Structure 1
Amino acid sequence: MLTEAVFRTDALQRSDRFAGWQQCVNNVIAPMEITSPHADDFWADHRLLRVEDTLLWPVRLQASRYRRTPRLIRQSDPGLLHMTLVRPGSGALHVEQGGLRSTVETHDLYVLDMSRPCDVRTADEPIVGVGVDLPRSLLPLPASVPLDDVLGRRLSGRHGFGALLTHFVTHLVDPADVYGPADAARLHRVLLDLAAGLLAGGLDRETALSPEARTRNLVLTIRSFIGGNFHDPRLTPAAVAAAHHISTRHLHRLFQQEGTTVAALIRNRRLERARRDLADPRLLDTPVQTIAARCGFRAPAHFSRVFRAAQGMSPSDYRHARFRERTEPVR
């Protein structure tokens, strides 16, 4: 099930806000020693999204410090791995675990084992991010794989599995994206696969992933690659296969299992962007053929044919129809 809860300190009396936040963190993750220079009038708000056995929580809060001590671990050890994706508007986070110290900034990630002592703090700037807490036992990684070399490290959210995980989690917690209970199992599996891929990549142990997880992550990587390169008219299934060091035949087999083809993914991504641009009033004076070229279509005639097949009307008629919808008075 996907379930959600909201916590805001401004719903509490001023004197109760910091204690309320401490209790919230203790309940959501695990008992922690929390301090803040703003404890007298603390503000924080977060949404808590549960996807099966995984918790995601976008959060904004004042500068504070969080410590898991041996005593608190003995008191409660939920066996969780904690990740934080640092988002724009946040100060740098100073992270320490197992003797490793890192400074984690916007678009970075870090991973902590909540069964071990750790320390996370900011100087005097707000924290803005998305926390992800998942049971270590659910990751598609052998329990024998040591995580020591990745815990507490700064991991990039701009490249590789860090970028995939950041993109996925950001959309998952976006209130505009609506997911139902039927989506939970698939979303949970994707989240675990991406988290395992991030950890395996950070450890240089990609072969530790199960074959099924490697296949699913390869498909996700290819989809992301297409999303970032669809505007290039040279993007073809052969080019996609070459970029991922696999044969075109293997590429086709991967997406047969997904019930689609790479050519269809490329075409649909280009059409999606073309529809958006044609409906954008700011681009009303941009020629249709210019929009087609920007979306990766080599020839205007080919674009018109493909667009008409998908939409039942020409690109120009689609643009005019969207314009009429915006300008006609509501009756």
Structure 2
Amino acid sequence: MDLVYDSCLLPAREQGTWWSDVALASLLSTHVRPEQSTAFPVRVTALSLGEVLVNAVSRPPETAVRTAALINRSDPETYQLELITSGRKLLAQAQQSCELEPGHLVLYSSSHPLQSRSGPAQSSGGHATSIIAHVPRHMLPLPSRHATDLLATPLQSARGPGLLLAQMLRGLAQGGGATTTPDRARLGGVLIDLVGVVLAHQLDQDTSQAASQEQILSLRVHTYIRRNLSRPDLTPTDIAAAHQISVRSLQRLLRAEGTTVTRLIRGQRLERAAQALADPRLARIPVHAVGARWGFPRAADFSRAFRCAYGVPPGEYRLRARTGADSQLPGADG
């Protein structure tokens, strides 16, 4: 992992104030208050896995608050999946709260106000450490209305898929930095899929409720669509058949989420195409080939759909990304 922050490089009396300023200025802007006025040694390392970022964090006791005002100012639209490796953490979000100990996994969101306190297991001395995976919301196969039910709730991590996820996070923190760039992108995809399995398993714990079954089905449908976006022949009939439901049931499921099968597939395909166009590593791939890769075999159809969603044709979008005009890059119209 690469070193991102280390307050020990500063004089002890400046460390707490510096860390508060860093947290407030970050993309995931948060009000942080150190709970000790003396030295405040914080260390953060990071590993980039394509669009997924994994951090390992060590810090003395602190409280953190992410308010609605801070969310309005900056929201990366990510989910955070945190593994507590030492110490304790109290977390509250979306009218739910939990107390976490080493080995616990927890999910929270950048888009909801949050309160937390991290500290050592004992009342004095020591650090709290954790490993945090930051996953873009659009990449996680979990509709936001279902994700809310899992926020600030301990996830099963002692066995099953939760244990596998915890082991993967520990492995990445300990030796993931030795992997190559292509390997990192692949590992990011594996991590996202494993997170999806863990969340599906959590939803599956209460099988007696019809709502839980609907959540599980929705998660599986979203996962299936994400894995098959590159198929130009992907249809509602295929998706329904893969899940042994009728097309009408599939349409009703997605309508409850405020979308349709066609809109969901097209939106996700265009998001993936936009990401590919902005990726400098894919600059040699022709625009029409990017469209074909993400389910638009006809260049004219891809250009028309992309312009409708992003306001500019795909070639211009790529040019703006290539010239470094990130702030000028338009977003999808939702």
Range into which the TM-score falls when normalised by the shorter chain: 0.5 to 0.7
TM-score relative to the length of structure 1: 0.58
- Structure 1 gaps of 5+ residues are 218-331
**Which of the pair has more CA radius of gyration?**
1
- Counterpart-to-counterpart distance in 1, 2:91 and 2:176: 31
In the alignment, does 2:12 pair up with 1:14?
yes
Specify the SS of the correspondent of 1:30. Answer: coil
Letter in 2 for 1:7: Y
Identical-pair percentage: 24
- Counterpart-to-counterpart distance in 2, 1:15 and 1:140: 45
1:3-33 superposed Cα distances (whole Å, 9 cap, x missing partner)? 7333211111223212332344345551101
Q: Residues 8 and 198 of structure 1: is their aligned pair in 2 closer, same or farther, counting only changes over 3 Å?
A: same
* 8 Å contact from structure 1 (residues 43, 62) kept in 2: yes
For 1:1-331, what aligned pairs fall within 5 Å after superposition? 4-26=2-24, 29-87=27-85, 90-122=86-118, 124=123, 126-141=127-142, 143=143, 145-175=145-175, 178-204=178-204, 205-210=215-220, 213=223
Letter in 2 for 1:103: E
Specify the SS of the correspondent of 1:96. Answer: strand
Specify the SS of the correspondent of 2:38. Answer: helix
- Counterpart-to-counterpart distance in 2, 1:83 and 1:105: 15
RMSD: 2.6
Q: 1:176 Cα deviation (Å)?
A: 7.2
- Counterpart-to-counterpart distance in 2, 1:49 and 1:27: 20
* 8 Å contact from structure 2 (residues 8, 41) kept in 1: yes
Q: 1:38 Cα deviation (Å)?
A: 1.3
Q: Residues 55 and 177 of structure 1: is their aligned pair in 2 closer, same or farther, counting only changes over 3 Å?
A: closer
Letter in 2 for 1:81: Y
1:126-148 superposed Cα distances (whole Å, 9 cap, x missing partner)? 2111011111111133x365212
Number of residue pairs aligned between Structure 1 and Structure 2: 212
TM-score relative to the length of structure 2: 0.58
Q: Residues 25 and 200 of structure 1: is their aligned pair in 2 closer, same or farther, counting only changes over 3 Å?
A: farther
* 8 Å contact from structure 1 (residues 18, 41) kept in 2: yes
* 8 Å contact from structure 1 (residues 95, 103) kept in 2: yes
